[in-house]
Structure 1
């Protein structure tokens, strides 16, 4: 009897060890069900232990589990996969869907992580949305993000508003795979037209300052275009599209991976043009191509190169005055103004995994960019001679050489991840502008010009930006994550003027230094019922732009701008996968914000505002009541005001900032019927409320509301679509401003029919 008891006790005591002995590493590869592309950043969760991992750049994963543990795989834009560990196959394919419970983001830390661990407002526009919306320009998908308004200025040109008024100022950072596409100091508000939309895998939008990680200009927010990685399956894809206003475009991409899985290649791009559009003198053409080559030297070491070349030309028609706008007279006063861009940028990424808890990523980059203009906005009338005007022809260029290195170290015993990084960006730049005389006809149109021997501006600036940053993420208790980070930046502007002090730009040769320490701290907590909360404090920093500091001035006088941001937010996953809701409140204080102040002669001068306040609430609801219907509702209410700002001539304190609508909203209903597999249709509504045209708050623009209707059908490798944009043909302006000379309206597109067809040829695996 005693022996039986002892044996029973021994058996009971051995159960935990027997259970532990069954623990093993389950591993495999995760792919897109349609394209067979590897899925990067898919979350693989052991539901029994709550441990998880994230798939790597090749779609591979490895996770400890018992044979009977339930393994769940989730990714934004894909249906959730679930099965017991013992039944896992070596390759898992996920089907694209409109909604997933937990998003994966990379822009919050420059590494893939679960959305619920990131204490900030960040939204990922996934592959499904990009594929189904078929955007002709990026604002057609970026405006779906709550709290974001990207204004279409035609020809892929744009302005942005993220927790700031609509602005051409350097308040927003544009990134490609985590790297700024332009150096600090020479911001271009149209910079997203330098992106290759064909090669975009997804787009992440950060709302609020991200300077602690990415540095200067990430003030209102950042837009990160994440490019495709080469498909494991050899495939070719071509798309033809056009619209009812002279737009034509062809997209093509060829990609594949060698049989041994080491070499991957993807080459793709598009050529687009518009002729005889809805607005006079608005033709444009753009050709862009990218080549991505990845090579796995060993299982722990991968090298990837990404090279892009672009040529771009656009007419630059005039904005409309109020009479022309409301009478629908879309004739341009200009017929020779233009913008031309030629660029080449390359990035070499070295991805080294030391062990499962240690990884280093180094990016080495080169940029070469040249832009020439005869800008319409520089043409001013000569009031002493009605048949004459003045303007300029200019050219700006830069080259960049730099690197970003980041090391990620996970310390499991402390439930802590440490990320440290450094960046160097050396960018010699040049700017030249020459005065031109412009002829006007009797109707007031600018019909021609001739060069003069008067040089307005001719300078070079060598820009050097060095940065160090560190971020620590701690998980002290289950479901609680604390993130703290800080970045130190040093900027050196080495300015050389080729003109004397009497010139229009007569600033003397000088070296200007700007330094910044930008911290961030945040916390997230998710309750057992999928209700989560976050809070953060962050600081943004922005030195003056080169053009703000030196163009048209005798002595540089602008100070850097600082932004302090406080934010709280929440999210909730509805039961049974019905949907997802999120909301955020922010308060941001700007100090020394650079504002364009109108002068008596109608020109503008940059000045530091004393202080500004930016406050708002953003919310979004994703709802899937049945498998065939998806509802998306997003919007924001915001207030942007001058706290203290006295120019000496006018006191704007307490005024609302110009071009700052209180309300913006975007909603969409999508239907994919079971009875017609492959068919989709959606209706989208966008609302922009009224806003002041000027800082004096003398007149408002009424705002606008748009409806867009989309249809698509996929079958046997084909994809066809019809989009009807601005369904009700509303007359609207994407941006309106008021100056001493009158009102300026940037015409929004009238009702436009977009059609397209694509075909994907894939090698069967």
Structure 2
């Protein structure tokens, strides 16, 4: 747990939870509320309202090893679905506005998923859950001195808690690390596929009673336990796939300075039924982008630079007393 607006979910928590939906693991952090919707869809909130539709599209920045999963302006409020949270090394969270540092999509916060470094390990697990859920996932890796390789995969088949609302998803990550002298290179390839039957909204007399009819009025429909499991939009669906590739090169220039350059490529395709509109039209969208990010790191010693530092007086119990500027 971190103070202020920064938090971090550890690898131990991630391994314990074995998440299916983003909410399973991210809601363990304070100030974070991820609401699970149909299938793999979700609505995020990071010290913010739960935003929907266009209002959520550019409000949160989702990163994988520091690289955004989408370009600015091509956001999607379901973007957490394509990140392999169940097999991440850790997750960094910045709650609240952070656009000055991270860019235009960080209006309400940032989620950065950090992948695991390669190591000598290998395991496969099969987990069973409610609603005929089958979750198969595995990891394999090898550390070979200067080189290290690893691969992770997660396959889920879920029947859904409502009628005709199941989904199948597949996520895969491959990582290669290389280090020699002052140079280190880390290359990551990520893929995601989703085939989802989407459940629509519930009303008290759906489809003229052909699908189901409730004894409760619209404002009291939440009391009808049977209605919660009904789905009258049997034709609603979402098909989604994405691929991301990034190679992070870092050189140590001196004891205090480092330079890093990261070229990347992103591809995303989606097709879904707009079941929430009277037309129920089919929308198709895609996003292809590539770019390069660069960073220059300089560790400054406050004593040498003449900047103000903070020295704390600590009493014998180890408790901070008043800070003193030096």
State the 1:188 CA deviation: 0.6
Is the strand fraction higher in 1 or 2? 1
Deviation string 1:249-280 (CA, Å, 9 cap, x unpaired) is 1011100111xx101001111110112x3212
2:222 corresponds to 1:340 = no
> C-alpha displacement at 1:202, in angstroms?
0.6
Report the counterpart of residue 166 of structure 1 in structure 2: 50
User: Could you list the per-position Cα deviations for residues 40-95 of structure 1 after superposition, in whole angstroms to 9, with x for gaps in the alignment?
Assistant: xxxxxxxxxxxxxxxxxxxxxxxxxxxxxxxxxxxxxxxxxxxxxxxxxxxxxxxx
Of residues 217, 225, 229 in structure 1, which corresponds to 2:117? 229
Choose from 365, 370, 376 the match for 2:264: 365
2:31 maps to 1:134: no
Q: Is the 8 A contact 2:157 2:167 kept in 1?
A: yes
Aligned length: 299
Structure 1 residue 314 corresponds to structure 2 residue 164: no
Q: Given that residues 290 and 306 in structure 1 are in contact (C-alpha distance below 8 angstroms), is that contact kept between their aligned partners in structure 2?
A: yes
| Alignment correspondent of 1:240 | 126
Distance in 2 (alpha carbons) for counterparts of 1:533 and 1:142:
35
Secondary structure of the residue aligned to 1:377 is coil
Closer/same/farther in 2, CA of residues 132 and 531 from structure 1, 3 Å limit: farther
Taking only aligned residues, the RMSD between alpha carbons, in angstroms, comes to 2.2
1:699-738 correspondence runs (5 A): none
Question: What residue number does 2:137 align with?
Answer: 251
The aligned residue for residue 302 of structure 1 is 184
Question: 2:276 pairs with 366, 369, 377, which one?
Answer: 377
> Could you tell me how far apart the structure 2 residues matched to 1:412 and 1:308 are?
38
Q: 1:160 to 1:475 in 2, by over 3 A?
A: farther
| CA distance in 2 between partners of 1:244 and 1:533 (Å) | 54
Displacement of 1:137: 1.8
SS of residue paired to 1:135: coil
Q: Could you tell me how far 1:475 is from its partner in structure 2?
A: 6.1
Corresponding residue for residue 351 of structure 1: 250
| Rounded Cα–Cα distance in structure 2 between residues aligned with 1:269 and 1:197 | 11
Structure 1 residue runs of 4 or more that deviate by more than 6 Å after TM superposition: none
Residue aligning to 2:290? 401
Alpha-carbon contact 1:316-1:375 (below 8 Å) kept:
no
**Distance in 1 (alpha carbons) for counterparts of 2:304 and 2:8:** 26
Structure 2 length normalisation: TM-score? Answer: 0.85
Q: Secondary structure at the match of 1:128?
A: helix
After superposition, the Cα gap between the structure-2 partners of 1:320 and 1:305, relative to the gap in structure 1 and judged at 3 Å, is same
Q: Does 1:281 align with 2:164?
A: yes
Give 3-state SS (helix, strand or coil) of 2:281's partner: strand
Alpha-carbon shift at residue 345 of structure 1 (Å): 0.7
Residues 367 and 400, structure 1, Cα contact 8 Å, conserved in 2: yes
Pairs within 5 Å for 1:254-653: 254-258=140-144, 261-275=145-159, 277-296=160-179, 298-321=180-203, 322=218, 323-328=220-225, 329=227, 330-378=229-277, 380=278, 390-412=279-301, 414=303, 476-479=308-311, 528=314, 529=318, 531=320
- SS of residue matched to 2:194: strand
Asked if 1:196 is matched to 2:79, the reply is no
* 1:121 shift after superposition: 1.2
Distance 1:338 1:398 in 2: 20
Whether the 8 Å CA contact 1:256–1:266 is kept in 2: the answer is yes
Distance 1:319 1:306, change over 3 A: same
Q: Report the Cα distance in structure 2 between the residues aligned to 1:199 and 1:363, rounded to whole angstroms.
A: 23
How far apart in 2 are the matches of 1:407 and 1:533?
A: 34
* 8 Å Cα contact 1:317/1:333 also seen in 2: yes
Q: Distance in 2 between matches of 1:270 and 1:295?
A: 25
Shift of 1:187: 1.4
Q: TM-score, normalised by structure 1?
A: 0.38
> Based on CA coordinates, which of the two structures has the bigger radius of gyration?
1
Once residues 256 and 265 of structure 1 are traced to their aligned partners in structure 2, the CA distance between those partners, rounded to angstroms, is: 6
Instruction: Structure 1: give runs of 5+ residues left out of the alignment.
Output: 1-102, 104-114, 381-389, 417-473, 480-525, 535-765
Identify if the C-alpha distance between structure 1 residues 531 and 239 changes in structure 2 by more than 3 Å, giving closer, same or farther. Answer: farther
Deviations 1:606-639 (Å, cap 9, x if unpaired)? xxxxxxxxxxxxxxxxxxxxxxxxxxxxxxxxxx
Q: Matched residues in 2 for 1:204 and 1:414: separation?
A: 30
Distance 1:278 1:320, change over 3 A: same
Counterpart for residue 184 of structure 1: 72
